[in-house]
Structures are given as structure tokens and as C-alpha cells.
Amino acid sequence: MLVGRVVGNVWATKKSPTLDGMRMLLVAPFTTGDKGSDEVLVAGDPIGAGIGETVLVAFGRAARTVLGSQDVGWQVAVVGIVDAIQLADGGTFELADDGTRIPV
């Protein structure tokens, strides 16, 4: 699993029938450094996350279970919307819309 920020939506008019009705989001993985990730993932979203939200993303069997079937043509899914993050050094924060950390 990873934590990331929703940075966009994906629409596909032609796709596998197993993906019909599935919302697709672009998710940029969260990093512990100051620089954000250059990678983005396309994740199925059965819970209704929106652009700018911080989400928990699962892969493989765990993702397909959340999406409702092991027979779906998908490997990545949003499984939660994150409210706050606490690091080992005791720092707890939420993420602002621009990705900056807001201490709580």
C-alpha cells in the first residue's frame, strides 16, 4: 500500500467490460522528502475520492477485493481517504491542497 494525493481524473470510453462504471483517478505517491514523486498511478476508485484528497492505495489482490471481484482487469485501487498522518518522530500533520504539511 501507499499514501498519495489525487491529482486528476481519467476517462476512457473504450475499455475492458470489467471496468465499466469504475471511476479512475490519477494518484501521485506521497514522499517523505520535500520533493514530490514524479510518478503517477491510475487507480480505480470505488469510494468517491476527489482531486486534492490524500488517499490510501492498495495493489493486486487487495485492490481487486475492494473493487468487488478478482476477475476485474485492475491492479490498483483507492481503499481509503486519509485524514491525518503521524510519523515516527511524533509529528502529526494533515496535507494542504498544495501538498504542504499542516501540523495538528
Q: What are phi and psi of 74, to 5 degrees?
A: -145, 145
Instruction: Note the pLDDT tens digit of each residue in 30-87.
Output: 876 666 678 999 999 999 999 999 999 999 888 888 888 777 778 899 999 998 877 7
* Helix/strand/coil for 91: coil
Instruction: Please give the pLDDT value at position 48.
Output: 94
pTM (two decimals): 0.81
Q: CA dist 28 to 3, 21, 40, 47, Å?
A: 9, 23, 5, 18
Instruction: Please give the pLDDT value at position 97.
Output: 66
Instruction: Please give the pLDDT value at position 98.
Output: 67
CATH topology of domain 2-103: OB fold (Dihydrolipoamide Acetyltransferase, E2P) (2.40.50)
d(CA 44, CA 62): 12
**pLDDT-based confidence at 21, cuts 50/70/90?**
confident
What does the pLDDT average to over 13-34? 84
CB 44 within 8 A of CB 63: yes
Query: What is the domain partition of the chain in residue ranges?
Result: 2-103
Beta bridge partners of 80: 56
